[in-house]
Amino acid sequence: MSIHKEGYKILAFSLIGLVLINVLVQVIWSGSPLIKWTFLICSVLVFVFTLFFFRFPARKIEPDPGLIYAPADGKVVVIEETLENEYFKDMRLQISIFMSPFNMHSNRYPVSGRIKYVSYNPGHYMAAWHPKSSELNERSSIVIETKGGAEILVRQIAGAIARRIVTYAKKDQEVVQGDELGFIKFGSRVDVFLPLGTEVEIPILQQVKANKSIIAKIG
């Protein structure tokens, strides 16, 4: 287990800020020492949670062209056929994974292949589980073409708390199943759009883990 690089600056500024706050409280507050201890304990808890949020577990897999792995940790909140309006502009099978602030937030490639499309769209900050968040929230869409010719769209969606989506994918890049796709800071969601008829391997409300849970099979 290590700390993700996206958390280095936030952790450093958080530590400096919390230390300064506690020093000021120690110097200024002359009342009950309980207040000082409360500030200190709360500061430690905040820093430990931030440290926990940016954890980066090592999860190696052996790429398999017939499997689609979960791109994120979280709960499956949508499994349905829907109209995908941005890239395909036709009906697709959508699987959505909601990530709470307690989930690991590194996103991984669900399949191997070539990046055909990358697009970032600034937007609103609706709750990530809202049905319209896929279309209206800040989001980043990545389309991967597998060696078998299937196109799979992975969409990172910011939630009500998240304020920054990080995407490492570049157009025409060759990517390997299980490698890191990007990172979303704090609460968020990842949608996967698959060809109709794809064999789904998980039920609704299932907890999944990136690089561990198989969400579907593809020919």
What burial class does residue 24 get, using C-beta atoms within 10 Å of its C-beta: 0-12 exposed, 13-18 middle, 19+ buried?
Answer: exposed
What does the alpha-carbon distance between residue 143 and residue 151 come to, in Å, rounded to a whole number?
A: 6
**Rounded Cα–Cα distance for residues 16 and 47 (Å):** 10
User: Residue 148's beta-bridge partner residues?
Assistant: none
R_g (Cα) of the chain, nearest Å: 20
Q: Identify the pLDDT of residue 84.
A: 95
148-166 burial, b if ≥16 CB within 10 A, otherwise e?
A: eebbbbbbbbbbbebeebb
Residue 80: name the closest of 190, 193, 158, 157 by CA. Answer: 193
Report domain extents, the chain: 2-56, 67-217
Average pLDDT score over residue span 126-144: 71
Q: What angle do CA 100, 102, 106 make, to 5 degrees?
A: 80
Q: Please give the positions annotated as active site.
A: 188
pLDDT for 165-177, tens place per residue?
A: 899 999 999 999 9
pLDDT digits (tens, 9 = 90+) for 11-62: 999 999 999 999 999 898 888 889 899 999 999 999 999 999 999 998 989 9
CA dist list (Å): 93 to 97, 134, 162, 212, 216: 13, 14, 26, 21, 11
Residue whose C-alpha is closest to residue 155's, from 146, 145, 165: 165
Share of the chain above pLDDT 90, in %: 74
Instruction: Find all residues with CB under 8 Å of 188, minimum gap 6, and list them.
Output: 99, 105, 128, 156, 157, 158, 159, 162, 165
Average model confidence (pLDDT) across the chain: 90
Which residues 6+ apart lie within 8 Å of 34 measured at CB?
A: none
Contacts (Cβ under 8 Å, ≥6 apart) of 112: 63, 65, 144, 146, 147, 175, 176, 177
Alpha helices in 29-177 (DSSP H): 33-53, 133-136
The CATH-assigned architecture of domain 67-217 is Distorted Sandwich (2.70)
114: pLDDT confidence band, cut at 50, 70 and 90? very high
- Confirm if 105 and 185 have CB atoms less than 8 A apart: yes
In the prediction, which pLDDT does 135 show?
62
Mean pLDDT within 84-99: 95
Q: 85 and 135 in contact (C-beta within 8 Å)?
A: yes
